[in-house]
Amino acid sequence: MANHKSSIKRIRANNSKRLANRYYAKTMRNALRDLRMVSDKATAQQQLPKVESIIDRLAKKGIIHKNKAANLKSGLMKKINNL
């Protein structure tokens, strides 16, 4: 167990941040899954900016790496262009 007041507070803060990050990452994964399941090109192109926005926000906050964000967006664009 932590001995200092600051380390106890840090543990509490890290736990709350971890839960928030898990929520945002799971939301992104669900949005990606929903977009990948779409078979209509027009619908997919409509949803793409929203999903890209989510991915960019998570990369900016540091929840996912910027290269992972770029790879996800690239893969989505390839999939939509092939529809």
Percent of the chain with pLDDT over 90: 95
Name the pTM for this structure: 0.84
Looking at domain 5-81, its CATH class is: mainly alpha
Q: Can you tell me the distance from the alpha carbon of 58 to that of 65, in angstroms, rounded to the nearest whole number?
A: 8
Backbone angles phi, psi at 82, to 5 degrees: -85, -5
What size, in residues, is the chain?
83
**Can you give the residue ranges of every domain in the chain?**
5-81
Please, which pLDDT band fits residue 68 given cuts at 50, 70 and 90? Answer: very high
The stretch 15-21 carries a mean pLDDT of: 96
